[in-house]
Structure 1
Amino acid sequence: MALDLSVETTARKAAPPGRYLFGPVADFLMLGGSAFLILPALFFVPHEYEGSLAATMVVVAYLVNYPHFAHSYQIFYRNFGRKARGDGYDRSLQLRYIFAGVIVPAIMALFFAYGAATSNTRLLGFAANAMFFFVGWHYVKQGYGMLMVDAVLKRKFFDNRDKKVLLVNSYAVWILAWLQTNTAVTAGQYYGLQYYTFAAPSWIADIVLAAAVASTAATLLMLASRWRKNGGGLPYNGIVAYVASLYLWILIARINPLWLLVVPALHSLQYLAVVWRYQTNVERDVLDAARDPESKILSVLGPRYKLRVWGFIIGGAALGYLGFWLIPFILTALVPYDKQVLGSSLFFFIVLVFINVHHYFLDNVMWRRGNPEVSKYLFR
């Protein structure tokens, strides 16, 4: 989620002082604060319990990771015909919707079809590296976006110069983290397929390291200055989200093997905090939102808008299961391919890479400045 919110006039009108997505503690934990609590604890997990933790994270994937991907599809393709026609959207946003919603998935489908049909394992392997590239970019942009959201909610705004400092630091840390895995041409296994890194001379990594250190220092100075200008206040939950996304989830992700299992769930939880709030405001805008359900059994859950929000969440869980497990399982059973060369998990590999990369493109359109739905529903 890359929320680019630089139109502060509208935001000031939309958000009273001290607003939260769900509350001070819930926002802290969901936006990134839980990372600062969980990471230290992982170093004390006994070796014999590491397998149990890994199994637990598989269950968490069903409950958190997969729905977070599914929700982006639910929101992006809702009323997609209207978006593609530009009905209520400017020309630039209309083209972005068409590109991300039609052209990008078509190109990726052709890419994977060609790679699988020709049994080109090297080509498919590079797709995994591309996924890691876009995932890192997505993480840091989402961290920046969460900071902007909290800044609007708390009415602790950043000016354009501040935002440039934050973005430069985001990109510097992200590129450094990606280059750390590309300092030499090596290969690894991902769902039975070899993936390859790109040759990156160490001197380039050194330059990027210097840039990341310098931009981090500049960010700290900017935050100190902004704290003084705000009379001793900052959007602290947003800063926690920004720091966790850049440094804990990207830069030092390999500090502990168990941490690699936990990070995707924490990133997804951060995303869900905004999406669930956004969807709640969407449902509240429906005419009969405040009415109780006709069923007495369902009425205990509250008014109709809450029931629809639960339907959205459950639908996301079902769609996540369908996309990540049922569809690749069926394709593996029905579509013949050379399992000796491509392994037995080809379609699981393709689905994972496809959804992770496409998710970046979807979010880059949905949560950008100028999208009328964001300004209407996110800050109510």
Structure 2
Amino acid sequence: MASHALTAPVADAPAPSPKADPVPPVAAKAVPQPRYLFGPVIDFLCLGGSSLLLFPLVYALGDSANVAGVAVTMLLVAHFINHPHFAASYQIFYRGFAQKAFTPALGRAMQARYLFAGLIAPVALVLFFLWGAGTSNSRMLGYAANVMGLAVGWHYVKQGYGMLMVDAALKRLYLKDPAKKIILANCYMTWFASWLGLNAAASRWELWGLAYYSFAVPTPLVTAATAAAGMTALAAAWVLASEWRRMGSLPWNGVIAFGVSLYAWLLFVTVNPVWGLMVPALHSLQYLVVVTRFQLNYERDQLTNPDYKKTSLVRRIFGGNPLPHLAFFFVVAAIVGWLGFWGMPTILDGLVPYDSIATTGTLFLFVFWIFINVHHYFLDNVMWRRENPETGKYLFG
């Protein structure tokens, strides 16, 4: 969830007047609004609580942990959590894309966002990779991997902020705008400091055999950014404490999601190699619980339309129960995720000739992994905005 600047989709309901007539019993039976995505325990574990349980354990193991074994395990987990989370965003974004991008059905601003993220951004990325590979410019391709790190960091912090806003909306515990601005400032500074730190840590990494080049970062800049991240963290803690006093409570699952996304998953991800291997799965799990809520409500809504059921073979097979449709959605996500990260790049690496001396490693694996990670940011920047009508309808409905 990249630019997850979600705020409450509805305003606080006004308190009833003490002089108002009593509400008739029939009219008072309103449908209760959900206060969790799936319940207190599931929300806690999926949004970030599992990290609170795992992080101390992994940190206590130190370097004695079997890194190779964990790496193999997490590679298997990626097939069922990490890669499907990317594919799910493609399924949601491009569903009904023609109407979203070529008609003002969602408003002109959203139409422009869909056009840019859905057409212009991927074409620009493809042209860049064609140029880099065609000219065997491995250094420019390496810088693309660095940009991926920049986008992934942004994605993590904005998703953490988005989880806080989603939980606040569900709990009807709306943070004031000044508080949200300070929290966002902490997001931006933590993201920037972590990216600078990554560049300062080493001048060259590798991804699928291709060099991952970093930018030269002055040490004073890293120090200043880290200090700014620390100061905004203190400010964010202060405003959350103030909001707690004002409202009497906080959306705690959202607060935990925000905290682990910024610090456990981004700023301190390098404290242990095993933890670094586990973080992408935890981030994807956080994303998928929101997608599950969104998609389940989407299926329920669509299945109320008889025409929708008639025009879809899947709907005719599974009938009116939304759960099989949800399962089918995730099966497709698993297949598309495998094709995007392994199937298609592996086939292309075997079929398409390129200068394997100048461009070492598995070029198409490198390109596909970076493309999907970077493009995912652009998709989420559109899908999960509060201005997107689908967000309020299916996520909070």
TM-score above 0.5, yes or no = yes
2:68 aligned partner: 51
TM superposition shift of 1:4: 2.0
Aligned to 1:189, the other structure's residue is in SS state strand
CA distance in 2, matches of 1:45, 1:215: 29
What TM-score results when the alignment is normalised by the length of structure 2?
0.89
Q: Aligned pairs, how many?
A: 372
Between 1:348-357 and 1:19-28, the stretch displaced more is 19-28
TM superposition shift of 1:186: 1.1
2:19 aligned partner: none
Answer yes or no: is the 8 Å Cα contact 1:283–1:309 preserved in 2: yes
Who wins on radius of gyration, i.e. which is larger? 2
What TM-score results when the alignment is normalised by the length of structure 1?
0.93
Q: Does 1:156 align with 2:173?
A: yes
TM superposition shift of 1:286: 2.2
Between 1:50-59 and 1:64-73, the stretch displaced more is 50-59
Which of 252, 257, 273 is 2:268 aligned to?
A: 252
Residues 92-114 of structure 1, C-alpha deviation per residue, up to 9 Å, x if partnerless?
A: 11011000000000011011011
Task: Note closer, same or farther for the CA distance 1:52–1:183 as it changes in structure 2 (3 Å cut).
Answer: closer
Answer yes or no: is the 8 Å Cα contact 2:204–2:214 preserved in 1: yes
Residues 219-240 of structure 1, C-alpha deviation per residue, up to 9 Å, x if partnerless?
A: 1110111001112x10000000
Q: Does 1:65 align with 2:82?
A: yes
TM superposition shift of 1:304: 2.1
Counterpart residue type for residue 34 of structure 1: S
Task: Report matched runs for 1:66-105 at 5 Å.
Answer: 66-105=83-122
TM superposition shift of 1:369: 1.8
Counterpart residue type for residue 37 of structure 1: L
Task: Report matched runs for 1:1-380 at 5 Å.
Answer: 1=1, 2-6=3-7, 8-9=9-10, 19-42=35-58, 43-44=60-61, 47=64, 49-183=66-200, 186-231=203-248, 233-288=249-304, 304-380=321-397
Residues 39-73 of structure 1, C-alpha deviation per residue, up to 9 Å, x if partnerless?
A: 22223278473322211101100000000000000
Answer yes or no: is the 8 Å Cα contact 2:199–2:215 preserved in 1: yes
Task: Note closer, same or farther for the CA distance 1:267–1:11 as it changes in structure 2 (3 Å cut).
Answer: farther
Task: Note closer, same or farther for the CA distance 1:12–1:318 as it changes in structure 2 (3 Å cut).
Answer: farther
TM superposition shift of 1:86: 2.8
Residues 271-322 of structure 1, C-alpha deviation per residue, up to 9 Å, x if partnerless?
A: 00100100000001124589xx9xxxx9xx9952111111101110011011
Task: Note closer, same or farther for the CA distance 1:174–1:5 as it changes in structure 2 (3 Å cut).
Answer: same
Counterpart residue type for residue 109 of structure 1: V
Task: Note closer, same or farther for the CA distance 1:170–1:53 as it changes in structure 2 (3 Å cut).
Answer: same
| Aligned alpha-carbon RMSD (Å) | 2.4
Answer yes or no: is the 8 Å Cα contact 2:8–2:169 preserved in 1: no
CA distance in 2, matches of 1:258, 1:184: 18
Which 5+ residue runs of structure 2 have no aligned equivalent?
15-29, 310-314
Residues 302-348 of structure 1, C-alpha deviation per residue, up to 9 Å, x if partnerless?
A: 95211111110111001101111110011011100011222241100
Which 5+ residue runs of structure 1 have no aligned equivalent?
none
CA distance in 2, matches of 1:47, 1:7: 45
Task: Note closer, same or farther for the CA distance 1:45–1:211 as it changes in structure 2 (3 Å cut).
Answer: closer
Q: Percent identity?
A: 50
